[in-house]
Structures are given as structure tokens and as C-alpha cells.
Structure 1
């Protein structure tokens, strides 16, 4: 099983970052409710949204932004 992050959508494909590389997956293979920045779990041909992982990523990004823009 691999973890990936939805980087962007290009036409009918989602570009997913996995470690230091990206893969292109047809949007039709993704859960209907995924967005850019969401973390997904890829297990063979099954792709699921990792809601808990997404929440953790967003919290980390918010904390970094707060540190960056701290006065």
C-alpha cells in the first residue's frame, strides 16, 4: 500500500505525488469527493481517501504558515 497526495488535476487525470515521483491516475478511478491536497491510499487498483491523513497534512501546513507569517 502506498500513500500519495493529489497534486493537481489535468484534464481527465489526477497527478498524485508519491514520495519523490508522480503518477497519473484517471479521475474516474478516484473516490468522487477527492480534492487537490488530499491524501489517498493506493492499494493495487483500489484508491481510497485517507481523511485522517489529509487532516494531519493540513494541520502541518497551517502550522508552517503560522510560523512563516508570525509577527
Structure 2
């Protein structure tokens, strides 16, 4: 099982950062609601969203931005 973050979409390809490197996956293999910045779990070729980690990651990014722009 691996964890990654959706970096971008290029046509029908999803580029996901896993352990500091990017890997390409067919966009169709992701859930329809997947978007850039979402945390995903890759398990035996199945990709699912990790909404809890995505929420934590977004909260941390917002906190850091708030500190930066104070």
C-alpha cells in the first residue's frame, strides 16, 4: 500500500506524487470526484481517496499560509 498526492491531470493521465517522485496513472482509475491536492491510497492497483488526510493536509497548508501572510 502506498500513499500519494494528486499533483496534476494531463489529458487522461493523473500525475501522483508518491514518496517524492511522480508517477502516471490512468485518470479513469481514480474516483470521479478526485481533484488536484487530494491524498490517495494506492493498494494493489486500486486508487481511493483519503478524505481525512486530505482535510488535515489542507488545514495545515491554510495554517502555514495564514502565518506567512500575517
| Class of the TM-score when normalised by the shorter of the 2 chains | over 0.9
Per the normalisation by structure 1, the TM-score is 0.96
**SS in structure 1 of the partner of residue 65 of structure 2:** helix
Q: Which residue of 2 aligns with 1:67?
A: 67
Aligned length: 70
Q: Which residue of 2 aligns with 1:51?
A: 51
Distance across 1 between alignment mates of 2:54 and 2:20: 18
Provide the aligned C-alpha RMSD in A: 0.5
Gaps of 5+ in 1: none
Per the normalisation by structure 2, the TM-score is 0.97
Deviations, residues 4-55 of structure 1 (Å, cap 9, x unaligned):
0000000100000012101000001001110000000000111000000100
Runs of 4+ in 1 over 4 A off after TM superposition: none
